[in-house]
Amino acid sequence: MRGDLAVVGGMITAVGDVPAEPGDVLVDVRGRWLVPGFVQPHIHLVQTLFRGLADDLALMDWLQSRIWPLERAHDIDSVYASARLGIHELLTGGTTALLDMATVSHTDAVFQAADEAGIRMWCGSAMMDRDNLAGLGTTTDVAMRTANDLADRWHRPEGLLRYAYAPRFVPSCSDELLTAVAKEARARGCLLHTHASENRDEVALVRQLTGRDNIHHLHEQGLSGADVVLAHCIHLSQSEMELLALTRTRVAHCPSSNQKLASGLCSVPELLSRGIHVSLAADGAPCNNRLDAFAEMRLAALLQSTRLGAGALPAPIVLRMATASGAEALGFPGGVLAVGKVADLVVLDPDTIWSGGDPASTVVYTMDSRSVRQTWVHGRKVAEDGKVLAWDNAETAALCHASLGRVRARAGL
């Protein structure tokens, strides 16, 4: 479809044949494709610095032997560098909004980087009050106080940055913490975000700790509903699926991460057929090792075809999972080029890797981040031709090199 799109105050106000008015700023993208910005509802920006440092490990070993020691070794400058590196990859790859889980400290630095870049972000400090071998965590009171202070500083319901309460997962969180989090988040109008049923060992550990299946235990503590985003949800019982559907709890599917950690394959078509809301995300760089929405779309479709037959998860559905469904999970009017939606937009060059087929199939199966020419968030251009306009690429790389040396030395890795 050829046409125009009008934006006023960061919102789409007209689509189609829109006459120019005096004083309008015209952006000519003839010959390019305009698509909604991708939305990734499960990212770990603090882990971007650790890309390539935790390969070929299963989830629990990956966490305990590499990721938690590295997170514990972070300082505020290394968290900023890691977030800046991740946001660069997201924006230059067409992702305009994300839900992020940070680590237990220095989360202000993640918000600082997002604020500078102009990306739309929900983020929460990872909350952990059970002991672990890496010594990463806090007391229940400190976890709650840290989260509340961050929400006071950064939760801006009318802006681009919002707080999300993020207990890490059931094995890291006491029941006291989970129930307090659910109550506080809802009192403040914040999202709730955690991991659930990613790995069989994790599921068994949750049963050992609680006597329940994962989804049932989270529900008992108040972590279910349309304001809850659960990452992964691979190993589910029938009753857990029924509970997700009944409570309208959101699922974030992370296909590359799930395959790399050998966690399993989420039964996405079955979840969708039950009316369960599923969106698409990359997870963290050390378990992927990319933050590329195109890679997640392609793999999400291909894996289900292998499981269930060709076309089990068609390209138009996958594209919706990466755009409108993600926006629905985060609760903002995005993911669609329509009047009344936010002007989070991506300009794609169809000639970078030419395909004469259906546009949705071309985006899902053929394109990659090299096709992204411009990224706009709330009507403002924030990235163009592989560069984030707020930052210098070489400076970002230098910050990361310096930071990683400090973190690895402290972690002994």
CATH topology of domain 37-330+385-395: TIM Barrel (3.20.20)
Angle separating helix axes 315-322 and 293-308, nearest 10 degrees: 140
Q: Tell me: the pLDDT tens digits for 165-217?
A: 999 999 999 999 999 999 999 999 999 999 999 999 999 999 999 999 999 99
Q: Tell me: the pLDDT tens digits for 75-88?
A: 999 999 999 999 99
Mean pLDDT value across the chain: 96
Task: Name the residue among 96, 127, 98 with its Cα closest to residue 110.
Answer: 98
Question: What's the average model confidence in pLDDT over 240-254?
Answer: 98
Rounded to whole angstroms, how far apart are CA atoms 301 and 175? Answer: 37
Which residues have CB under 8 Å from 25's CB, separation 6+? Answer: none
Rounded to whole angstroms, how far apart are CA atoms 226 and 244? Answer: 10
Q: Which amino acid is at 408?
A: R
Domain boundaries, the chain: 37-330+385-395
1 confidence band (pLDDT: 50, 70, 90): low
pTM of the model: 0.97
